[in-house]
Every structure is written in structure tokens, then in C-alpha cells.
Amino acid sequence: MASHQRSASLPSRLHSTESNVEDELQSLRSYIAAPSATIGTMCDGMKRLGDVYSSIEEIMCFPRNAISLSQQKKMVEEELDRSVVLIDLCNAMQENLSELKMNILELQLVLKRRDDAAVQLKFKSFVRMARKTQKPFKKTSSKTTAEYCSLKPERWLSVSLLDCTPGLLMKKIGTPSTSKWSLVSKKFQKRKVVCEEEQLQALERIIGDLEYGTEFLFRRLIQTRVFLLNILSS
């Protein structure tokens, strides 16, 4: 009797989990597409999306009598192929964020020396580095958008999150002519230098949050890939 109850509960558990995943994906789609989306939105979105991948693994563990082994193998192989793109994008984002943090530390040191020319050069280098974070997504954007939009929503959301983040980061950084983030001035007054250091520290915290969010999503993607490989080898 107990065994029958457990068997009967499987379809309802599967339906509940699938429904929760679908609701969360729909919520995330609206969340990151909102005009008010921020860096914080992206960081939170990465965490939530990572949890979605865990739920998808749970769904895949449910027995599905309607799917043949050959069909399952084909689905898993397709997921494995496409997971490489997301893992590569996450890895590129992690590397670029790490370089940005290093650039911030160097910029803080130069700023303390109050060398106008050195600060200007270092800040321009920093902005170039920040723009570099957008390159991996520009190269893959058209391909992944066309491929992912018509397929799994979690893949589309993963690309969207990683694609939107560099643009929001650039808005925070600004350019050498932007009043809020301009680190170049003719006179390095003490109060101004302190203000600029505080802005850099705030930016460093933002990048740290992005690193955490990206790393969390990256780990989940790797975990899902290992899960899929185990299915193939079983």
C-alpha cells in the first residue's frame, strides 16, 4: 500500500516541480527585462537561475515511460553540446571581472600618488578593460539568441543575464568625461581624492557581487553537465 502511494505521488511531485520551474523562469524573464534592472538584479538573477538548474536536474530524475532510451540519449547529448556555450561565457565573464578588480587596485594606487597623467592613462586602460567584458557576448549574441530563444528558456535566460551585465557595469563605470565617475581632475584636492577612492571601493564591491553571482551560476552549469554525463554513462 505504501509503495502504491509513493508511486501515485510521483506524477503529482513531477507536475509540482515542473510548474514551479516554469513560474520561476517566467518571473525571471520579467525581472531581468524590467527597465529598472540593476547590477543587483543580475546578481540575484544568477543565483535564482542556478537554483532553477538544480530543479531541472530533479525533474530529469523522474521516470518517464513515454520517452525511449534513444530519445533520452539524444536529448542529453543536445543539452551537453549547448551547455559548453554557457560555461564558456561564464568563464569569460569570471576572467574579465577578475582583471577589472586588479585594475581597480592599480588605479587606487595611482590615485594616491596624485599623478594627473598617470591617473588619466590608468583610467582609460580601466575603461577599455571594462568594455572588453562585452566582447564575448557580442561575438555569440546573434548565434545564441537565434538558437536559444526557440529552445529551453533557462538557456535563453542564462545568455540574457550574462549579456546584459557588462552594459549595466559600463553605466556604473562611466567614461573619463562622465561627471560621476570621472577620476581625472586638474587639481587633486584632498576631499576629491577621498571621494574618488570611495567610488572605486563601491565599484570594487559591485564587481565582487558579480563575481559571486557568476561563479554560482558557473558551478551550477558544471554540476548540471556532470549530471548529464552521468546519465549517458549509466
Q: Given phi > 0 = left and psi -120 to 50 = alpha, else beta, which region is 174?
A: left
pTM above 0.85, yes or no: no
User: DSSP string covering 165-203, please?
Assistant: HHHHHHHHH--TT-TTT----SS--HHHHHHHHHHHHHH
Span 44-95, pLDDT tens digits: 999 999 999 998 888 887 766 555 666 777 778 888 888 888 898 899 899 9
Residue 192's pLDDT band, with cuts at 50, 70 and 90, is low
- Whole-number Å distance between alpha carbons of 149 and 210: 24
The average pLDDT across 119-139 equals 76
Calpha distance 112→109 (Å, rounded): 5
Percent of the chain exceeding pLDDT 90 equals 21
Domain that holds residue 187: 2-233
**What average pLDDT does this structure show over 177-184?**
46
Q: How confident is the model at residue 149 (pLDDT cuts 50, 70, 90)?
A: very low
| Predicted local confidence at residue 179, as pLDDT | 44
Higher pLDDT, 144 or 73: 73
The reported pLDDT for the residue numbered 107 is 83
The average pLDDT across 174-187 equals 47
pLDDT digits (tens, 9 = 90+) for 4-38: 445 546 678 888 888 898 999 999 999 888 888 89
Segment 121-126 shows an average pLDDT of 80
How many structural domains comprise the chain?
1
CB 140 within 8 A of CB 85: yes
**Closest by alpha carbon to 47, among 169, 163, 157?**
157
User: How is 30-43 classified by DSSP, letter by letter?
Assistant: HHHHSTT--HHHHH
Helix axes 153-173, 2-33, angle to 10 degrees: 30
